[in-house]
A and B are shown apart, each in its own frame.
Chain A
Amino acid sequence: MTQGELRVTAEPVDNHRCKFVVSQPLHAAGVRRFASAAEAKGSPLAEAIFAIPAGGVTEVIVSGNIVTVVKDNPAPWQAVGKAVGVAIRAAAASGAPAVATKTAPPAGGGAVDDDALYERVARLFDEQVNPMVARHGGRVELIDVQDAVVMLRMGGGCQGCGMADVTLRQGIEGMLSQHIPEVRGIVDITDHTSGANPYFQASKK
């Protein structure tokens, strides 16, 4: 694919959170989450997004072909979204890795052990969440845990489902807070527009 054909599609969740689906992967090696400009250092795409003037960007998550951006100013995504698109195109055009590979945390350091949390969340997903959502043909994939924030991707009947947010907020988030209260947040990096077989499909006016 040439640079001219790169497509970036914005999917705002609300005025604070927006997913950008890119027509080619930007970071194939798992998920990277950046909670500050300092954390983004060394990852050109994240650095550029944090540097958007008056963007108010507080978080950038890059996973495969999806870039999730969170900002703290309530302005609509029109202006910031275009700047994010420019940053994505520039990162893709540069030929260099858009995002640096995650480095292992120093042994014994840090207040939260993401690896241990990952294991517990993965077990919860395997033993409880997925058997439940499988009844609607769905599945939930744990992508990563960074700074106690769980990143997941929905598939099957959950992808594009009209009730996916209810599953996420009322189901999965509730189970996480009940069983693993150390989890600080949950981020859905699913490309819901590509869901070809959603269990519930919005149809009413």
Chain B
Amino acid sequence: MPRLLLLLPSTTYRTTAFVEAARRIGADLTVASERPSTLEAANPAGLLTLDFQHPERAADEAQVFARQHPIDAVVGVDDDSAVVAAAVAERLRLKGNPLAAAVAARDKHRQRQLLAAAKVPVPGFALHQIAEDPRARATQIVYPCVLKPLRLSASRGVIRADDPTAFVAAHARLSSILAGCDTEFLVEDFVPGYEVALEGLLVNRRLHVLALFDKPDPLDGPFFEETIYVTPSSAPAGLQKAIAECAERAARALGLVEGPVHAELRYNERGPWLIELAARPIGGRCSAVLRFGERASLEELILRHALGMPIPSLTPEAVAAGVMMIPIPGAGVLQEVRGVVESKAVPLVEDVQITAHPGERLVPFPEGSRYPGFIFARGPTPSAVEEALRAAHQRLNFVLETP
């Protein structure tokens, strides 16, 4: 059996989906994480610890491991592990992205520089130091703008400012969020328009669009908490083609060649704009809404592609599907969630997964970014799915102990 090295950060939501996909396709699995499993000594071929913060060092460690347990493919599942996967792939000469490309996709400033140079439409941007005097800087900014961390995910720390006063306030919040982890941030032009998310798979530089999600809730700030994703998109076919072309040009500009991509784009009267592109699959548990061919999961496609196994189909099921990342209901300690049964009983709703646990402190955006759960629905039309997701959400009641 081919051996797959799966890079799973200890904080990922995607463990079960990827581990089960590896079992289904019959791969010999080694799971590497940045923190050791307590059972590593009992299964040295199946469990490994790699330094995810230092990709080259991780590649060294993987190379040593591979001498005893030859590796046929390496797959990362999130922003950080995608970079490590590229480093390992380069070192072991496996299918994957060049390390420089993965690094560029990970760094929002480097990404924008490359995209702008390749004339991919991106918002105007500038790199700033968090230590700068925000009052002085606020007078030089074009409004509305968006302050954005370089490396945080899930829209954490992303804040819109419409005037100098809002900029100074946003800067203070961002400083607090970035304290100790970064000294720089981006200021981007705010691009008005509709937002979509594109899920794709690069096969030898060619982008195969697996799904295009509409985001029916406007993302106009001041914070950018995701809520509903629904596919297929209701955008006109010509616009969808332009969106896909924009994402493919972006992937090419970054130098990405193989594996999953997840892109966030906006469109308005001037066409599509690339907001972000990541060399990883869709986050959270959202991939559960996607099924291909004979009900293969997104993870199965990704693993088959990495291992060079045949992929039966890249065509998604011909039904509408959607997911709601349940909005953080407020600040406080979660006591219980009521109405889950009623929520699941809503027609077209497939599942309601509460991922926050009792006693967990919920932190709203922009400081927080952990959704308390996910709602999944499938139905005849995108609008019916969206309606079901909203109805299911209305039945949930998060009981918080507030400070």
The chain B residue sitting closest to A179, CB to CB, is: B42
The chain A residue sitting closest to B348, CB to CB, is: A78
B359–A196 touching, CB < 8 Å: yes
- Tally chain A residues at the interface, Cβ within 8 Å: 47
A170–B378 touching, CB < 8 Å: no
Instruction: Let me know if A174 is at the binding interface, CB within 8 A.
Output: yes
The CA-CA distance from A197 to B9 in the complex, in Å, is 18
Instruction: Let me know if B284 is at the binding interface, CB within 8 A.
Output: yes
Binds B, one of A7-15, A33-41, A63-71: A7-15
Contact with B along A179-205 (1 / 0, CB 8 A): 000000000000001111110111111
Name B42's contact: one of A160, A165, A175 (CB within 8 Å).
A175
Known: A12-B351, A133-B39, A204-B283. A170 touches B46 (CB 8 A): yes
Name A166's contact: one of B8, B350, B355 (CB within 8 Å).
B8
Name B341's contact: one of A7, A76, A167, A201 (CB within 8 Å).
A7
Name A175's contact: one of B43, B78, B349, B354 (CB within 8 Å).
B43
The chain A residue sitting closest to B153, CB to CB, is: A205
Instruction: Let me know if B13 is at the binding interface, CB within 8 A.
Output: yes
A167–B20 touching, CB < 8 Å: no
Instruction: Let me know if A77 is at the binding interface, CB within 8 A.
Output: yes
The CA-CA distance from A8 to B370 in the complex, in Å, is 25
A13–B16 touching, CB < 8 Å: yes
Instruction: Let me know if A171 is at the binding interface, CB within 8 A.
Output: yes
**In the complex, chain B residues 305-357 whose Cβ is within 8 Å of any chain A Cβ:** 340-341, 344, 349-351, 353-355, 357
Contact with B along A97-133 (1 / 0, CB 8 A): 0000000000000000000000000000000110011
Instruction: Let me know if B154 is at the binding interface, CB within 8 A.
Output: yes
Q: How far is the CB of A68 from chain B (nearest CB, A)?
A: 15
With a cutoff of 8 Å between Cβ atoms, the chain B residues found around residue A14 in the complex are 16, 20, 297
Instruction: Let me know if B12 is at the binding interface, CB within 8 A.
Output: yes
With a cutoff of 8 Å between Cβ atoms, the chain A residues found around residue B353 in the complex are 11
A202–B350 touching, CB < 8 Å: no
Known: A175-B43, A196-B359. A77 touches B15 (CB 8 A): no
Known: A9-B340, A204-B78, A205-B284. A172 touches B15 (CB 8 A): no
A204–B350 touching, CB < 8 Å: no
A204–B154 touching, CB < 8 Å: yes
Known: A166-B37, A196-B358, A196-B359. A204 touches B12 (CB 8 A): yes
With a cutoff of 8 Å between Cβ atoms, the chain B residues found around residue A196 in the complex are 357-359
Instruction: Let me know if B10 is at the binding interface, CB within 8 A.
Output: yes
Interface residues on B, range: 35 or more
With a cutoff of 8 Å between Cβ atoms, the chain A residues found around residue B11 in the complex are 162, 200-204
B357–A175 touching, CB < 8 Å: no
Known: A162-B13, A200-B11. A170 touches B294 (CB 8 A): no
With a cutoff of 8 Å between Cβ atoms, the chain A residues found around residue B42 in the complex are 128, 132, 171, 174-175
Instruction: Let me know if A95 is at the binding interface, CB within 8 A.
Output: no
The CA-CA distance from A12 to B297 in the complex, in Å, is 14
With a cutoff of 8 Å between Cβ atoms, the chain A residues found around residue B39 in the complex are 129, 132-133, 167, 170-172, 174-175
The chain A residue sitting closest to B373, CB to CB, is: A193
A166–B33 touching, CB < 8 Å: yes
Q: How far is the CB of A6 from chain B (nearest CB, A)?
A: 9
With a cutoff of 8 Å between Cβ atoms, the chain B residues found around residue A74 in the complex are 294-295
With a cutoff of 8 Å between Cβ atoms, the chain B residues found around residue A194 in the complex are 357-358
The CA-CA distance from A187 to B76 in the complex, in Å, is 27
The chain A residue sitting closest to B155, CB to CB, is: A205
Name B153's contact: one of A138, A162, A198, A204 (CB within 8 Å).
A204
Name A193's contact: one of B10, B23, B153, B354 (CB within 8 Å).
B354
Instruction: Let me know if B116 is at the binding interface, CB within 8 A.
Output: no
Instruction: Let me know if B219 is at the binding interface, CB within 8 A.
Output: no
B43–A166 touching, CB < 8 Å: no
A166–B38 touching, CB < 8 Å: no
Instruction: Let me know if B191 is at the binding interface, CB within 8 A.
Output: no
The CA-CA distance from A200 to B9 in the complex, in Å, is 10
The CA-CA distance from A124 to B297 in the complex, in Å, is 34
Q: How far is the CB of A48 from chain B (nearest CB, A)?
A: 19
Contact with A along B25-44 (1 / 0, CB 8 A): 00001010101011101110
The CA-CA distance from A162 to B35 in the complex, in Å, is 12
The CA-CA distance from A8 to B352 in the complex, in Å, is 12
With a cutoff of 8 Å between Cβ atoms, the chain A residues found around residue B284 in the complex are 205
In the complex, 11 of the A-B residue pairs with CB atoms within 8 angstroms, ordered by the A residue number, are: A9-B340, A74-B294, A129-B39, A135-B38, A136-B38, A170-B39, A171-B46, A193-B354, A203-B11, A204-B13, A205-B155
Closest 9 CB pairs of A and B: A171-B39, A205-B154, A205-B283, A174-B43, A202-B13, A200-B10, A170-B46, A74-B295, A132-B38
**Sample of 14 more A-B contacts, CB < 8 Å, known A165-B15, A166-B8:** A13-B16, A14-B297, A133-B38, A160-B357, A164-B15, A165-B16, A166-B19, A174-B42, A175-B43, A200-B10, A200-B11, A200-B35, A202-B355, A203-B370
